[in-house]
Structure 1
Amino acid sequence: MAGYVEMYRLGKTYDTPNGPAVIVEDFNLNMTKGEYVCLLGHSGCGKSTVLSMVAGLNPITSGGVVVANREIDGPGPDRGVVFQSPCLMPWMTALDNVLLGVNQVYSHGTRAQRHDIAAYYLTLVGLGSSLNKRAKDLSQGMQQRVGIARAFALKPKMLLLDEPFGMLDSLTRMELQEILLEILMRDKVTTLMITHDVDEALFMSDRVVIMTNGPRARVGMVSHMPFDRPRVRADVLEHPEYYELRGEMIQFLEDQDHKKLKADAAKLEAMKTESESTLTEETVS
């Protein structure tokens, strides 16, 4: 079934001195408009590779991505991206950092209109009194708020989040999770978020998609969240299905660990056998 966002047979291969390295293969995922999907998996499985291809920042080797009936062929303002580090211009104010994108996307608007758009989203993320503070003078959590405001201010069709709370302390992380969900409820932006945190995925998303280990990573498991919106953290934690879903996800990830250990052991054994065979041949000769 077609969706608002379609990732079909998405693949990424890199050329290496030892031949082609297939990182992601046959990755398929459809998302409905306004849906929030968390992409989960072990480090190195290809999560960020998928997100960077959807963002148009990494060329697609095979398959494709369609957003709002248009196949992407590079980066664009229809997809807002928030990285783990917000990549701000440290000498510029919070307002001016947001205006960098707003001035490009709303070049037809007046200066006052563009100012109001940037100020509005900075206020939504709790920085209404810090518009004129330079980015280098803001805390890490405040800088990430600027990054979130910058992404929303462009009014994207899709929001892409690459572990946006990964570098924050737990209290700041929970606060920003709730701020982000409030804005998403208001703006109805289709969102794909990468995370390593099972509990974060459970709390934030409508669906959790877990990738298999690489190489040739793909969708391995999909879980639908039964929790009501707007989300209340205490209600989610007390939901009768919460710990069952959490256990299933952790079990899948542990199974992936075991498969990787077996594959690594088999590879080491093959290398040992090959080495012993070579030594034997050299001894005989």
Structure 2
Amino acid sequence: GKYVTSRHLRDRLYHEIEKNLALRVQETNSSDSYLVFGRGILHLSILVETMRREGYEFQLGQPKVIIKEIDGVKYEPIESLTVLVPDEFTGRVIDIVTLRKGEFFNQETKNDRMMLEFIMPSRAIIGLRNAILTATEGEAIIAHRFKEFAPLKGEIKIRNNGALISMETGIAIPYAIWKLSDRGRFYLNTNEEIYAGQVIGENSRAGDMVVNVCKTKKLTNVRASGTDDKILLPPPIRFSLEEFMEIIREDEYLEITPRSLRLRKILLNENDRKRAGNKYTA
């Protein structure tokens, strides 16, 4: 990136709030980090993408909704959610929303579609649109708006599966990815440069797993022409900036550069993550 220092970042953020009235910037105890308040993931992602194209390089933490404390009780924003979907996908949508602490309260028929109405925490809205569109093959129409503040509803898991984390710094080897393909789905292409602590895929199970995709095939005296050419890998998962922002966990950063987007653990070293213990919740 062209602009990489905290001074550049601070000047750019304070310049933005002069014209972007819905944005608010707050300094933290650390001189190189800032809290940025906006009107949602889309609003913040527009700012991030603009800064990225201007040559800024920085890292994002997990987006969080604003929690209020009233008489010692924590309150969170609640939203009304309306989903218009073909009848055959109704069950899938209800399952997805209720798993995120959503409350289903009304159902109506609109022409050849079902209109489903829910009440759910704003925290659960993060990443919901992509989950519903995937489950309904792109057929769903989704709308939501703020309703009220209500007592905090407890933990909501946006990502149920764990992460695949790179063990080493180097080049992603096709053979290594192929050998680990049953462990989960990868975010990277073959021969892509990676570093230790980078999140390179999604584990097929709960819990994080450290893997080595830089491992080359062990050579033997036996040779077979064209053997490696037969390796067929599934295409990697590619996220947009907005989609990446929706899946960041509390113990992760999203690395923003003009050339790439990378998800990484805050603590890159595996031993440091183990020593940190329960400091972060996955």
State the TM-score, normalized to the length of structure 2: 0.25
State the TM-score, normalized to the length of structure 1: 0.25
